[in-house]
Structure 1
Amino acid sequence: MGLYQRGGVWWVDLTSPDGTRIRRSSGIEDRALAQEYHDRLKVQYWEEQRLGVKPERSWKDAAVRWVKETSDKRSHDKDVARLRALDRYLGHLQLKHVTRDVIDRIADAKAKESSPSNANRFLALIRSILRRARDDWEWLETIPKVRLFREPKGRIRFLSPEEARRLLDELPTHLRDMAQFALSTGLRQRNVSYLQWEQVDVARRVAWIHPDEAKAGRAIGVPLNAPAVDVLRRRLGQDAAYVFTYEGKPVARCSTKAWKLALARAGIERTFRWHDLRHTWASWHVQNGTPLQELMELGGWASFEMVLRYAHLAADHLRGAACRIDGTLASHTENPQRVRAV
């Protein structure tokens, strides 16, 4: 009982108030410091088990539990990558020491590294973990308020039909087929990249995205128009499992050097993203009279608010309302003969 040495490091051996035997390394080589660690640990277990004091948890404890409990998230890999990047700021802290000042320093650092919008992704993750630590795990009584940067609402970037044709002409074959299919169906890049032949019925001119593959978590039925069917017929026989492949593998990344070079040759600014193909598809639909409710179903959006960003492109149905005041202004137009000379 007490302390014993192993490999130059002192180990703790004690029994907690509930009878559990605790054996762990102190990580300390100095016996006096190891004894202090032993005594503090014994007091901690006494306070927790006899007095009901909550044990202190570290940020790393919270991060590990978050990763385990959210392994089914579609953005799980991104969360893990962001947590690794946050370790330099938070990895040495107890959870109660993740204060507003600490979070503000992280916010400033991340905004300088890239952009406020990217910093918001880190801040939102910190906020989610702190909220779960308070509300679900009951590790904290209170948490600091996490303020996100205000993100300006940018204009929707979409291609004209002529720009789209120029871009398709400049893309290498595998990206051209993927881009044409995206422009024809509005599917997100990942859904196009990993589309399998078992999800396609060319005869019925329909494809489908499974719930676990859809951003909104709901299955999407995808009606196929003529350009989409043309793409599928070109791809037939190139791979047994996946519709779109390059050198025998699905195309995981589309915003490559080849994409950027094709943009330059087509005379389209390099800031145009692959995801803007989806915006282009939606914009073309609205401009050609597709109701927003139908567009929501076609695009697999979770809420109507998501498609309202395209509403300004469909002002035709409001022309009648705008014309109701035509006569009002006309009746007050001055007679040119009565205009006084200045």
Structure 2
Amino acid sequence: MISDYMQVRNPRAPDILVLIDLTERIGHFALHDANEAWRVWSLTRGKNLAPASLHRWRAILMAAINSGCRARGLTPPYVATVQKIQPPASVYLSREDRDRLLACYSENSRPVAVTLCFQGLRSGEALRLDWQFVDFERRSLFIHKTKTGRQRSVPMHPRVHRELLALWEERGKPDKGEVFLTASGEPYHDQTRVRFGGNPFRFVHNQACRRAGINGFTPHSWRHHWASWMVMSGCDLFTLMKLGGWSSLRMVERYAAVSSDHLSDAINRLT
């Protein structure tokens, strides 16, 4: 069923990697033992994964099973659900902590961090950015490869414009090629082409956090930081959804609470 699903449905590359791993580890189980197969996988390959990751793996597995059962007129077997999780609270830094952290990145990695901080891109979107999609004249970035598959064009923040323009001139004004390179001059690996690799920017990010004395702030936290400050600066949720590339308003509703807290702080400062 997993093999058929990959051929018929043509899922996204990251999902194909998940399906291949599931096939290799539990593909020998019969359909009526799908729940036991999932239990075995959860206790081995999935034992150290966060609930959100487990939920995603199970969803992909069930998509294959349900598709196969529909095609064969079968009733899908029961597969235990993952414990329901609450959406993570938004994480954002004060302006002082933000600037201190940005100053702690290496010279090579700082342009990546500035882009994450002021554009709200996902790490993969930023690391895949190509010079051909950077328009300095119109001050815009075209995000050609996204998590949702929906391409988008976003205005370039002034600080990002300054960082990228300096980098572009330093590189000899290339018209194509990866914008961000590692310290060794190589492109960051594309996570959609690497099996289950971690965030390639995490190591240098963690080093910067240690220097700045900031804990619990991941590369993806920059996206929450950006969204939170966008709302606190007066951005409406629909515009935030479009700029950030979220697929629905439901996914940005958590930031409405940030706005309320910010307004309360402003009221409380009145004396």
With the shorter chain as reference, the TM-score category is 0.7 to 0.9
Q: Tell me the alpha carbon deviations over residues 241-264 of structure 1, each in whole angstroms, 9 at most, x when there is no partner.
A: 222122333223444332212111
Residues 302, 154 of structure 1: CA spacing in aligned structure 2 closer, same or farther, 3 A cutoff? closer
1:221 aligns with 2:153: yes
Q: Tell me the alpha carbon deviations over residues 186-211 of structure 1, each in whole angstroms, 9 at most, x when there is no partner.
A: 1111111111111111011112123x
TM superposition score normalised by structure 1: 0.65
AA at the equivalent of 1:66: Y
1:181 aligns with 2:121: no
Show the counterpart of 1:164. 98
Q: Tell me the alpha carbon deviations over residues 93-123 of structure 1, each in whole angstroms, 9 at most, x when there is no partner.
A: 233x324344345445566444433332332
**Per the alignment, in what secondary structure is the counterpart of residue 208 of structure 1?**
strand
Q: Pick the structure with greater CA Rg.
A: 1
CA distance in 1, matches of 2:147, 2:47: 30
1:91 aligns with 2:27: yes
Residues 80, 250 of structure 1: CA spacing in aligned structure 2 closer, same or farther, 3 A cutoff? farther
Deviation >6 Å, runs of 4+: 316-319
Task: Extract unaligned runs of 5+ from structure 2.
Answer: 190-198
CA distance in 2, matches of 1:158, 1:316: 13
| Conservation of the 8 A alpha-carbon contact between 1:117 and 1:151 | yes
| Conservation of the 8 A alpha-carbon contact between 2:112 and 2:180 | yes
Q: Which has the higher strand share?
A: 1
1:276 aligns with 2:221: yes
CA distance in 1, matches of 2:103, 2:33: 53
CA distance in 1, matches of 2:262, 2:226: 20
Q: Tell me the alpha carbon deviations over residues 151-173 of structure 1, each in whole angstroms, 9 at most, x when there is no partner.
A: 23332112221111111111112
Residues 117, 142 of structure 1: CA spacing in aligned structure 2 closer, same or farther, 3 A cutoff? closer
Count of residues in correspondence between the two structures? 251
**Per the alignment, in what secondary structure is the counterpart of residue 142 of structure 2?**
strand
Aligned counterparts, 1:106-255, within 5 A: 106-108=41-43, 112-135=47-70, 137-138=71-72, 140-210=74-144, 213-237=145-169, 238=171, 240=174, 241-246=177-182, 247-252=184-189, 253-255=199-201
1:285 aligns with 2:217: no
| Conservation of the 8 A alpha-carbon contact between 1:286 and 1:310 | yes
Show the counterpart of 1:304. 249
CA RMSD after TM alignment: 2.7
TM superposition score normalised by structure 2: 0.81
Which range moves more in the overlay, 299-308 or 246-255? 246-255
* 1:126 Cα deviation after fit: 2.1
Q: Tell me the alpha carbon deviations over residues 264-285 of structure 1, each in whole angstroms, 9 at most, x when there is no partner.
A: 110110x311111111111111
Task: Extract unaligned runs of 5+ from structure 1.
Answer: 1-61, 323-342
Percent identity between matched residues is 28
* 1:220 Cα deviation after fit: 1.1
Residues 218, 257 of structure 1: CA spacing in aligned structure 2 closer, same or farther, 3 A cutoff? closer
CA distance in 2, matches of 1:223, 1:318: 27
Show the counterpart of 1:26. none
1:64 aligns with 2:3: yes
| Conservation of the 8 A alpha-carbon contact between 1:244 and 1:250 | yes
CA distance in 2, matches of 1:222, 1:279: 17
AA at the equivalent of 2:67: R
